[in-house]
Structure 1
Amino acid sequence: MKRFLTAAAIATATLTAPMAHAEGPSKLVTVLTAPEAQTQLMAMVLTMQAVEQGKSAHILLCGPAGDLALKDAPETATAGQPPRDMSPQGLMQMIMTKPDTTVEVCAIYLPGKGADASVLLDGVGVAKPDAMAATIMGDDTQVMGF
């Protein structure tokens, strides 16, 4: 009887685990503020993995991480990192080519730099606080912060 119950529990867990995963959030919001290139790249790696697993992605860049969105980005954003010599900005740009992806800088990033949207890479927007809050609070959203 004990073996039967154990087998039944394992079978139930095995059958319901994929369903629980499939019913999870369909949107990932990555909030990136970290200045370190390695942390920025890891945020992009995990976001790309979520996109490749069928999730839509919204990347919000604030503070020093906003520099990833600049046409004239600092070397920390553009220099290749080990082990694959990929840069945070380069992987972010790859993510931007995928369907259902959005990259924005926070609403106070450009005013804080004394700049306007012309300094941003093509395809990068400026987040509207009300819309971003609604996205973050969505029932179907997972938020990941770095």
Structure 2
Amino acid sequence: MKKFLSVAALGAFLFSSSAIAGENKGLNVVLTAKDAQTQMMAMVLSMMTLKQKKAVNMTLCSSAGDLAVKGKESPLLKPKNKSPKMMLQALIKSGAKVEVCPLYLPNANLDKSVLLEGINVAKPQNVAKELLNNEYSTLSY
């Protein structure tokens, strides 16, 4: 009986997990990392999410906010010889919502005019709402 209950509980967990995964609408990504490889992994997983017809909401904070600034370069990485910034622009063109956190610009002594096309300044109440939405998974780098 004990074994049956364990198997039943595991089955219920797996069923509910797969049901939740099937209802998942997308991915929230909070990116603060300065490291280009970490930034690129966030971009690659976000692109794979979009290719699965799911939404991506990305918030760039701290050093990662530099990716949103016109004229700031990021390094090319192997094997595709693309930079995190190039992937970010491809994400935007593919429909990802990308924002910089509201602390980034004033603390970098910049204003909205430096942002790449398609990138806005996040509103904390909206980011919090997205992060608390259980229909989305959240990754933080």
TM-score (norm 2): 0.84
- Give the aligned residue type for 2:102: A
1:98 aligns with 2:91: no
| 1:70 counterpart residue number | 69
Q: Identify if the C-alpha distance between structure 1 residues 140 and 18 changes in structure 2 by more than 3 Å, giving closer, same or farther.
A: closer
CA deviation after TM superposition for structure 1 residue 80, in Å: 1.2
CA deviation after TM superposition for structure 1 residue 139, in Å: 2.2
| 2:129 counterpart residue number | 134
Residue 103 (structure 2) aligned to one of 84, 101, 108: 108
Q: Identity percentage over the alignment? A: 39
Taking the aligned partners of 1:36 and 1:125, their CA distance within structure 2 comes to 22
Q: Secondary structure at the match of 2:125?
A: helix
| 1:125 counterpart residue number | 120
Taking the aligned partners of 2:19 and 2:99, their CA distance within structure 1 comes to 32
Q: Secondary structure at the match of 2:137?
A: strand
1:17-58 CA distance string (max 9 Å, x none): 8755422x2121111000011110111001100110111001
Q: Secondary structure at the match of 2:80?
A: coil
| 1:3 counterpart residue number | none
CA deviation after TM superposition for structure 1 residue 98, in Å: 1.4
| Equivalent residues, number | 129
- Give the aligned residue type for 1:22: G
Note the aligned Cα RMSD (angstroms): 1.9
Q: Secondary structure at the match of 1:96?
A: helix
Segments of structure 1 that go 5 or more residues without pairing to the other structure are 1-11
Q: Identify if the C-alpha distance between structure 1 residues 134 and 19 changes in structure 2 by more than 3 Å, giving closer, same or farther.
A: closer
1:92-138 CA distance string (max 9 Å, x none): 10010113x20000010001011110011011000000111011111
| 1:7 counterpart residue number | none
1:84 aligns with 2:83: no
Taking the aligned partners of 1:58 and 1:91, their CA distance within structure 2 comes to 15
Q: Identify if the C-alpha distance between structure 1 residues 22 and 82 changes in structure 2 by more than 3 Å, giving closer, same or farther.
A: same
TM-score (norm 1): 0.81
- Give the aligned residue type for 1:112: N
